[in-house]
């Protein structure tokens, strides 16, 4: 009989990036890289475990913007073009390295990997990877949770707070239902950002639990009896699970955790930068900018500019070794907690960005596979569960009010509110104020007026994405993040002014409906603060 439980939670998210007005767009590669390096490898892991009859449980968020992109026909076709180029490049690499046996083996590895990725995408799942994750959920091994519509950072939505939070949550849960054909039980709050009372909105939308960072529970009121090793109910009745720092740090930390091992593949050495420009030019950015191709021949090696060739077999052995180490540490942790907690079996919740597995940490999906096999075959101390599983087994839990919190630097929103990005919020707050005003003023809009109001809602949601502030803080793709924020706020403002003036270029409206085509089902009245009867 197990002494406790392990809940692995993968947060799969990308901001909505789609530019039909351009033939190629650099930032769309974020999606294509994640498909090739994270989502398809995770699908391969789940398929193998299911085929072998391994009893595993994983929780995974698929954010609404990610689902929207994975199911978008234009982006699906562009991914096929992308992976076909990689197959062509890998084929050229097989030929170029034919007199270098070790490097040639790596080139062959990439060639076969890309071919299999294309086959999985096109032939197995007909270009829709959401279907693959849905199948694993239907098999009872994966719990897919939802997220806010555009990953909006809830703690900083201060103007018309309830309407703004409700719109993010309701639109996100509705998209989930349309693609996964069931109600979501849990939600990943963007950036684990929690503000007391947000759970009341979650309850209204049928959400039963959410994930918070460690101090969200530890600094809750009253103090949690079991620390972060059991969920707590908010006063609303919605449960919250907190991150276990000990287990999560051993995986996500590139310096102290497993991904920094010298035998693992080096992320920062790629042939897109290493090889002659004219050779890689057809496979990099159309403007001539060198980019990562995903073909990398070196291992981390150490803190040295000299990087040795990557050895896949040795890296797999390390992944298996690290999976065993992780399992052993969780066994010891559970034994200790079980002795303290008595009849209540502890749950260790370990959340990670899904893109860590495969994209940043190439061996991550294999590590996850080894871990789940080892837990299934080699021990009986811990059992893998989802948060929903645990709540079914333990429906009675302590009631407390979690603390205002987020993950990220210092844990209190500083990543999304500091000198590089604080300017965005006065514009977002004003847009929310205008959106609520417009929804209340036009409770029964139809025709072009309804189209304007719905597009205003889309533009506001897209402007609220926490990704733009995060990018400004980290200093990567800053120009793009600033432009996206200004574009969405600018379009929103033009729509608002046209709504009140009656002057609108309908062709321009059609153009931006095409550019920012997301949430076709949206109803602007989600922002209304009037009673339901007054909106009907």
Domain spans, the chain: 4-71+128-242+343-410, 417-535
- Kind and range of the H or E run holding 496: helix 478-501
Mean pLDDT of 2-28: 95
- How many whole angstroms separate alpha carbon 208 and alpha carbon 216? 17
- How many whole angstroms separate alpha carbon 139 and alpha carbon 316? 28
Helix (H, G, I), strand (E, B) or coil at 371: helix
pLDDT in tens, 405-420: 998 889 899 999 999 9
- How many whole angstroms separate alpha carbon 529 and alpha carbon 511? 30
Side-chain half-sphere of 213: how many Cα atoms within 13 Å? 19
> Would you place residue 288 in the very low, low, confident or very high pLDDT band (cuts 50, 70, 90)?
confident
> Would you place residue 535 in the very low, low, confident or very high pLDDT band (cuts 50, 70, 90)?
low
Q: Of 516, 481, 526, nearest to 495 (Cα)? A: 516
pLDDT at 415: 95
pLDDT at 284: 84
Helix, strand, coil abundance in the chain, percent, nearest 5: 55, 10, 35
% of the chain surpassing 70 pLDDT? 99
Give yes or no for residue 338 having a pLDDT over 80.
yes
> Would you place residue 117 in the very low, low, confident or very high pLDDT band (cuts 50, 70, 90)?
very high
Angle between helix 161-180 and 447-463 (nearest 10): 100
End-to-end CA gap in the chain: 55
pLDDT at 188: 98
Burial of 50 (0-12, 13-18, 19+ CB in 10 A): middle
Whether the CB-CB separation of 65 and 328 falls below 8 Å is answered with: no
Beta bridge partners of residue 242, listed in sequence order: 212
% of the chain surpassing 90 pLDDT? 90
From 21-25, 260-264, 333-337, the region with the lowest mean pLDDT: 21-25
pLDDT in tens, 49-106: 999 999 999 999 999 999 999 999 999 999 999 999 999 999 999 999 999 999 999 9
- How many whole angstroms separate alpha carbon 227 and alpha carbon 244? 10
Give yes or no for residue 189 having a pLDDT over 80.
yes
Q: Fold for domain 4-71+128-242+343-410?
A: 7-stranded beta/alpha barrel (3.20.110)
Mean pLDDT of 310-314: 98
Mean pLDDT of 113-125: 98
pLDDT at 534: 54
> Would you place residue 532 in the very low, low, confident or very high pLDDT band (cuts 50, 70, 90)?
low
Q: What is the CATH number of domain 417-535?
A: 1.20.1430.10
Q: Of 349, 338, 333, nearest to 248 (Cα)? A: 349
Beta bridge partners of residue 10, listed in sequence order: 60, 352
Whether the CB-CB separation of 213 and 190 falls below 8 Å is answered with: no
Give yes or no for residue 384 having a pLDDT over 80.
yes
pLDDT at 155: 95
Secondary structure E strands in 179-219 = 186-188, 209-212
Give yes or no for residue 533 having a pLDDT over 70.
no
Mean pLDDT of the chain: 95
pLDDT at 517: 93
């Amino acid at each position: 009989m197990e002494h406790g439980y392990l809940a692995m939670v993968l947060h799969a998210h990308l901001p909505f990036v789609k530019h039909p007005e351009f033939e190629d767009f650099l930032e769309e590669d974020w999606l294509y890289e994640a498909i090739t390096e994270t989502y398809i490898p995770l699908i391969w892991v789940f398929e193998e475990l299911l085929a072998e009859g391994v009893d595993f449980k994983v929780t995974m968020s698929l954010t609404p913007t990610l689902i929207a992109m994975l199911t978008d026909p234009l982006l699906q076709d562009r991914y096929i073009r992308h992976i076909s180029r990689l197959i062509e490049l890998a084929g050229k690499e097989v030929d170029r390295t034919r007199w270098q046996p070790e490097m040639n083996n790596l080139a062959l590895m990439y060639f076969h990997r890309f071919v299999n990725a294309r086959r999985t995408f096109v032939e197995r799942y007909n270009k829709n990877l959401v279907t693959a994750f849905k199948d694993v959920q239907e098999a009872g091994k994966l719990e897919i949770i939802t997220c806010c519509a555009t990953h909006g950072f809830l703690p900083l939505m201060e103007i018309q707070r309830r309407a703004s939070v409700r719109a993010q949550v309701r639109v996100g849960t509705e998209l989930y239902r349309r693609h996964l054909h069931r109600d979501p039980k849990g939600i990943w709050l963007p950036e684990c950002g929690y503000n007391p009372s947000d759970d009341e909105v979650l309850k209204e939308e049928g959400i039963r639990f959410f994930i918070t960072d460690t101090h969200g529970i530890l600094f809750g009121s009253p103090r949690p009896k079991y620390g972060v090793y059991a969920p707590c109910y908010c006063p609303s009745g919605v449960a919250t699970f907190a991150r276990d720092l000990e287990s999560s740090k051993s995986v996500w930390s590139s310096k102290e955790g497993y991904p920094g091992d010298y035998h693992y593949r080096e992320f920062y050495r790629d042939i897109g930068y290493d090889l002659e420009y004219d050779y890689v030019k057809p496979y990099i950015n159309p403007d001539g900018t060198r980019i990562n191709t995903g073909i990398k021949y070196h291992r981390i090696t150490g803190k040295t500019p000299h990087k040795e060739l990557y050895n896949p077999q040795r890296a797999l052995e390390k992944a298996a070794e690290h999976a065993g180490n992780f399992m052993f540490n969780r066994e010891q942790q559970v034994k200790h907690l079980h002795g303290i907690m008595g009849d209540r079996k502890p749950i260790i919740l370990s959340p990670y960005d899904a893109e860590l597995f495969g994209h940043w940490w190439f061996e991550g999906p294999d590590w996850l596979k080894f871990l789940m096999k080892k837990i299934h075959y080699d021990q009986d101390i811990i059992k893998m569960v989802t948060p929903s599983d645990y709540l079914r087994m333990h429906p009675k839990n302590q009631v407390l009010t979690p603390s205002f919190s987020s993950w990220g630097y210092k844990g209190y929103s500083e990543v999304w509110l500091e000198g590089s990005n604080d300017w965005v919020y006065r514009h977002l707050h004003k847009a929310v104020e205008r959106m609520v005003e417009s929804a209340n003023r036009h409770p029964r809009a139809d025709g072009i007026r309804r189209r304007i109001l719905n597009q205003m809602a889309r533009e506001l949601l897209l402007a609220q994405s926490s990704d733009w502030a995060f990018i400004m803080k980290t200093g990567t793709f800053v120009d793009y993040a600033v432009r996206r924020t200004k574009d969405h706020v600018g379009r929103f403002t033009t729509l608002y002014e046209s709504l009140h003036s009656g002057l609108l270029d309908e062709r321009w409206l059609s153009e931006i409906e095409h550019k920012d085509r997301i949430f076709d089902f949206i109803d602007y009245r989600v922002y209304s603060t009037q009673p339901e009867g007054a909106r009907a």
